[in-house]
Amino acid sequence: MTDRQQELVWGALDRFQVEQPSWGFANTGTRFGKFIQAGAATTIEEKLADAGQVHCFTGCAPSVAVHVLWDFPDGRASAAQVAATAARYGVRIGAINPNVFEDQAYKYGSLANPDPAVREKALAHILESIEIARETSSRDISLWFTDGSNYPGTANIRRRRALFEEGLSRAHARLEPNQRLLVEYKPFEPAFYHTDIADWGMAYLVARAAGPQAKVLVDTGHHYQAQNIEQIVAWLLADDMLGGFHFNDRRYADDDLTIGSIDPYQIFRIFHEIEFYRWETGREPEIAYMIDQSHNLKPKIEEMIQTVMAAQELYAKAALVDHGALTRHQEACELIDAEECLKAAFYTDVREAVRAWRRSRGLAEDPLAAYRASGHQARIERERAERNRAAAGGGYA
């Protein structure tokens, strides 16, 4: 690797930060059952402590996305305490995620529910989440809705869109100037006939209707097979509507697998579109990079460290694309040469440059190996074993 390439890698690593999900440290599973681990976090304090370990060893994961229903036992009243706990473990509270899908009231939807009382209940929870974000100094309120229908003719699709626009506009009116609503989309599950916000275009339209502080959130698992996600990213960047990501990987649908474990080239191509935008415009897009994975089988802290390391390497590779040469090849329709510009960067081994960057920042060269050598995992397994054994009904999956 040349000195110039190392300079580009280090610059990329200096500006790249990725947010951890609190739920990634808790016991999770599938719709068929939950898989229990002896060292899994059972409280919000343990989740934040685990996130602190990941940031300590990687140096680029300083914030933690939280779910209001799962992480704030007393709602807004516990917001300041949760923020203080995060600071004690060397991290901060990131995106606030309302939960308008688990309560029985949301059986037929939340903001698009035909019952106005249910719509008001959902809106009140979102407004409380905005207040929690204010208390925790969080910028983003991430919104994912399961609203939709399972059978033709059972829902007024146009009416439900209007209800979403109305509800999100009311939420937008309560934002502080530095806050944002991030609207996520998903084509199916748990609604299987129609989902009210099923793709990026629908998310774009309802976000635009809500107001200028509403953007689109792209979950890399929330697409049909063979969807060109980097094209979506490019279009949203062009319109200043890309607010953030939930990064994961998938084999079949929304599998929530480790970043880059199935298709690292896709994550690289997404990062490339962002870097290309930076190079062309000279502007730094305001994008929240977040992880959204369920670490069902892998040890949770280790898997989060593995995820962060993979994200760093793929982002560093994207910074190596020669955008000047790429532009010239594109304008001359030199297809092979243009494609080779991408492939040359993707196949560059950046690991030594990343290790050198870590050394220069006082971090372990190999965060995963350093964490394993710390003995922390064995300690938390001893401390948390009884609580997790009780959750498993006396055993571990």
Residue 24, pLDDT above cutoff 70: yes
pLDDT of the residue at 396: 57
pLDDT of 359? 98
CATH class of 3-389: alpha beta
Per-residue pLDDT, 35: 85
Residue 73 clears pLDDT 70, i.e. is over it: yes
Overall average pLDDT of the 378-388 stretch: 95
Residue pLDDT, tens place only, 221-251? 999 999 999 999 999 999 999 999 999 999 9
- pLDDT over 80 at 394, yes or no: no
What is the per-residue pLDDT across 127-184, written as a single tens digit (0 to 9) for each?
999 999 999 999 999 999 999 999 999 999 999 999 999 999 999 999 999 999 999 9
Read off the DSSP letter of residue 246.
Answer: E
The pLDDT value recorded for residue 51 is 98
Long-range (24+ apart) CB contacts under 8 A made by 273-277 are: 273/230, 273/233, 273/234, 273/237, 274/233, 274/237, 274/318, 275/12, 275/318, 275/319, 275/321, 275/323, 276/321, 276/323, 276/326, 277/234, 277/237
- Model confidence at 265, pLDDT cuts 50, 70, 90, reads very high
Instruction: Look at residue 1 in the predicted model and tell me its pLDDT.
Output: 86
Q: Which two tokens stand for residue 259?
A: 């970043």
pLDDT value at 395 more than 70: no
Q: Residue 289: CB partners within 8 Å, gap ≥ 6?
A: 16, 17, 18, 19, 244, 245, 247, 311
- Mean pLDDT for the stretch of residues 187-200: 97
Domain ranges of the chain: 3-389
What band does 91 get if pLDDT is binned at 50, 70 and 90? very high
Q: Measuring CA to CA, how many Å separate 91 from each of 52, 59, 136, 154, 323?
A: 6, 11, 12, 45, 35
DSSP 8-state class, residue 49 = H
**pLDDT classification of 391: cutoffs 50, 70, 90:** confident
pLDDT at 14 over 60: yes
> What CA–CA distances, in Å, run from 114 to 104, 144, 357?
15, 19, 54
Residues in the chain: 397
Question: Which of the two residues, 1 and 280, has the higher pLDDT score?
Answer: 280
When the pLDDT of each residue in the chain is averaged and rounded to a whole number, the result is 96
Identify the band that residue 31 occupies on the pLDDT scale cut at 50, 70 and 90: confident
- Of 233, 163, 247, 175, residue with least CA distance to 204: 233
pLDDT in tens, 97-121: 999 999 999 999 999 999 999 999 9
Over residues 50-62, mean pLDDT: 98
Spatial separation of the C-alpha atoms in residues 94 and 137, rounded to whole Å = 8
Q: Is the pLDDT of residue 368 over 80?
A: yes
Which residue, among 377, 386, 397, has the nearest Cα to 301 in the 3D structure?
Answer: 377
* Average pLDDT of the residues in 255-262: 95
- pLDDT of 75 higher than 80: yes
Q: What is the spatial distance between Cα 207 and Cα 194, in angstroms, rounded to a whole number?
A: 19
Angle in degrees, CA 45, 46, 51, rounded to 5: 100
pLDDT of residue 32: 79
Q: Are 200 and 168 in contact (CB under 8 A)?
A: no
